[in-house]
RNA sequence: GUGCCUGUAGCUCAACGGCAGAGCGCUACACUGUGGCUGUAGAUGUUGAGGGUUCGAAACCCUUCAGGCACCCCA
């Protein structure tokens, strides 16, 4: 129902079940990052708008950022991306960092966009970068990190693929077609749109942009040539490294992968789910040069990628790859028989916790039926009952909700009995 | 920022301009010391919000909010 005060459009509310999914993604992200030795880091969530004005696209800064004046009159921006902050932080300690720097981060970002499937105004993003090495082998490592993540969540190569291209290769192909550098942005845009448009419409659009028919035909030939990578030394080395890293089954060359022109200068890549119910990339990245030129650092090359939690989460759910939701860490519920037994139950629960068992006590002496029902819905495995009969004999009734069996044991044997049931 | 579609019970959805309903879930009881399964009974509600047309609006019109699809963009 509509509440009086709604959440801000495009923001996310994480009920425990959604939080479980977010944490699942976070854990897999961390595992993949750490498997390659990357260090976790983070940057401020709010930055001055100037940080983005320098390097980010105009669209991003002017139209799609959450920017407002703080109480002192300065313009601040909720971070729409992490790379500018990375550049500043690297530049600030460029002389003392131990290169190559391998850093990863997972945190919130905001972009003022039209919310729709796979896209919200508030999202979490995994960023991972290697800085200070410029080689196809370093590019291969980042692609291997991405592949490791995909594999770890169960998206095997039949379900997901990483498509790779190279900016320098495409530039030389564009040169060969006589496409002048000033037209590159348009042509890059054109390539991005090809999969979304009817072939005939795409072609007339290309002609509208000022390409000649010969150039359009040449472009189509380039974009249809999946052996083009053999002309690129960088890609040849990249694929050799990917094979050695054991992830080549995930990777395909695709000359249609361009990505926005903002940072990328060499290898670029994007991962998609192959069934394609969502046409959005799961993750994307590539090699960039001159990362630090606008924040006062020495030239530095890097490679990295980013993955949003929204698309990744949808794809995991649609593929049935999210583990069953576990509502609580507790495996034991201690019921409260009646008011006179209340503190006995508290003492029992405290003892369980001292012995390393997560335990809940029902917060009031309700009917046992209600307490058991609560335990069942919360997927608790064990329910303890301490009633007058048990107290009289210094015993505790232990019911295993999975098997339905109940046993009554001496108080001193409770912890071991529970542990046996949980390990069975 | 643009275009199209949608909004009804907690959830999924019905209802020709004429009494707002079903399934699931929920509550109670069968079962006053025990969940699931079953049976019986019961309660669902500002039809997203605001205004208009009409004897009469969930339905038609306008505004607005939210969601979806596409454009734009994807840093």
Which structural domains are found in chain A, ordered by start? 16-43+82-318 (3.30.930.10), 332-423 (3.40.50.800)
Task: State which nucleotides on strand B lie below 7 Å from a protein beta carbon.
Answer: 1-3, 9-11, 26-28, 31-36, 46, 48-49, 65-75
DSSP assignment string, A361-377: E-SS---HHHHHHHHHH
Conformation bin of residue A375: beta by default, left when phi > 0, alpha when psi is -120 to 50: alpha
Q: Note the pLDDT of residue A119.
A: 87
CA distance A90 to A130: 11
Task: Decide: CB of A280 under 7 A of nucleic strand B.
Answer: yes
The residue whose two tokens read 């529970």 is A418
Q: Which of A259, A196, A192, A187 is nearest to A216 (CA)?
A: A187
Scan residues 54-83 of chain A and list those with Cβ within 7 Å of strand B. Answer: 56-57, 59-60, 64, 80-81, 83
Could you tell me the distance in Å between the CA of residue A110 and the C1' of nucleotide B59?
39
The two beta strands, A395-400 and A406-410, are antiparallel
Q: Helix or strand or coil: residue A250? A: helix
Q: What is the greatest pairwise CA distance in chain A?
A: 96
pLDDT attached to residue A289: 84
Task: List strand B contacts in A 121-140 (CB < 7 A).
Answer: none
- First and final C-alpha spacing in chain A: 44
Give the pairing of strands A160-166 and A101-110: unpaired
> What is the nearest nucleotide to A189, using C1' and CA?
B73
Mean pLDDT of A232-260: 95
A284 sits in the region (left: phi over 0; alpha: psi -120 to 50; else beta) called beta
Highest mean pLDDT among A31-35, A188-192, A270-274, A375-379: A31-35
Whether residue A152 has pLDDT greater than 80: yes
User: Do the interacting molecules here have an ipTM over 0.90?
Assistant: no
> Minimal CA–CA distance to A142: which of A217, A66, A36?
A36
Nucleotide nearest to A113 (CA to C1'): B73
Nearest to A50 by CA among A293, A295, A301: A295
Asked whether strand B has any atom less than 7 Å from the CB of A107, the reply is: no
Task: Give nearest nucleotide to A57 (CA–C1').
Answer: B75
Output the pLDDT for position A1: 35
Q: What percent of chain A stands above pLDDT 70?
A: 96
How far apart are alpha carbons A105 and A30 in whole angstroms? Answer: 9
Rounded CA–C1' distance between A133 and B25, in angstroms: 58
Q: If you ran DSSP here, which 8-state letter would residue A177 be given?
A: T
Q: Does position A8 have pLDDT exceeding 50, yes or no?
A: yes
Give the phi and the psi of residue A326 in degrees, each rounded to 5: -105, 110
Q: Name the DSSP class of A273.
A: E
Distance A403 CA to B75 C1' (A): 54
Q: How far is the CA of A97 from the C1' of B25 (A)?
A: 58
Q: Kindly indicate the confidence band of residue A374, based on its pLDDT and cuts at 50, 70 and 90.
A: very high
Q: What residue is closest to B65 (Cα–C1')?
A: A6
Q: Which of residues 201-220 of A touch strand B (CB under 7 A)?
A: none
Radius of gyration of chain A (CA): 28
- Residue that is written with structure tokens 């006590």 in the block: A361
* pLDDT over 60 (residue A304): yes
Of all nucleotides, the one whose C1′ comes closest to residue A8's CA is B66
Could you give the C-alpha distances from A399 to A342, A367, A391, in angstroms and in order? 19, 16, 16
| Predicted confidence band of residue A3 (pLDDT cuts 50, 70, 90) | very low
């Amino acid at each position: 129902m509509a509440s009086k005060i709604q959440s801000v459009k495009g923001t996310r509310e994480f009920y425990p079940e959604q939080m479980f999914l977010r944490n699942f993604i976070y854990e897999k992200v961390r595992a993949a990052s750490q498997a390659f030795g990357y260090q976790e880091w983070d940057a401020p969530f709010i930055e001055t708008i100037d940080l983005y004005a320098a390097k980010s696209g105009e669209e991003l800064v002017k139209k799609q950022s959450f920017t407002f004046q703080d109480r002192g009159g300065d313009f601040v921006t909720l971070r729409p991306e992490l790379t500018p902050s990375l550049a500043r932080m690297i530049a600030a300690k460029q002389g003392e960092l131990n290169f190559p720097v391998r850093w990863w981060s997972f945190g919130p970002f905001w972009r003022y966009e039209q919310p729709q499937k796979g896209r919200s105004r508030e999202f979490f993003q995994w960023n991972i970068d290697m800085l200070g090495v410029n080689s196809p082998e370093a590019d291969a490592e980042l692609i291997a990190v991405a592949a490791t993540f995909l594999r770890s969540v169960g998206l095997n190569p039949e379900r997901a693929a990483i498509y790779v291209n190279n900016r320098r290769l495409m530039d030389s192909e564009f040169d060969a077609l006589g496409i002048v550098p000033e037209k590159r942005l348009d042509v890059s845009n054109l390539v991005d749109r090809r999969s979304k448009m009817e072939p005939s419409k795409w072609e007339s659009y290309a002609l509208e942009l000022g390409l000649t028919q010969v150039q359009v035909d040449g472009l189509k030939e380039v974009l249809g040539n999946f052996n083009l990578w053999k002309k690129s030394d960088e890609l040849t080395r990249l694929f050799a490294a990917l094979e050695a890293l054991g992830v080549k089954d995930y990777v395909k060359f695709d000359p249609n992968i361009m990505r926005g022109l903002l940072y990328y200068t060499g290898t670029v890549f994007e991962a998609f789910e192959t069934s394609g119910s969502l046409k959005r990339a799961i993750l994307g990245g590539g090699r960039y040069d001159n990362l630090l030129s606008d924040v006062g650092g020495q030239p530095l090359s890097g490679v990295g990628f980013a993955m949003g939690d929204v698309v990744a989460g949808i794809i995991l759910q649609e593929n049935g790859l999210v583990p069953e939701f576990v509502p609580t860490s507790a495996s034991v519920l201690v019921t409260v028989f009646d008011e006179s037994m209340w503190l006995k139950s508290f003492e029992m629960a405290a003892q369980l916790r001292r012995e390393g068992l997560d335990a809940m006590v029902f917060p009031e002496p309700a009917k046992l039926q209600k307490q058991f029902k609560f335990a069942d819905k919360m997927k608790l495995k064990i329910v303890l009952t301490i009633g007058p009969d048990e107290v009289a004999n210094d015993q505790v009734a232990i019911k295993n909700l999975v098997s339905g069996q109940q046993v009554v044991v001496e108080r001193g044997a409770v912890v071991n009995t529970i542990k046996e049931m949980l390990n069975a």
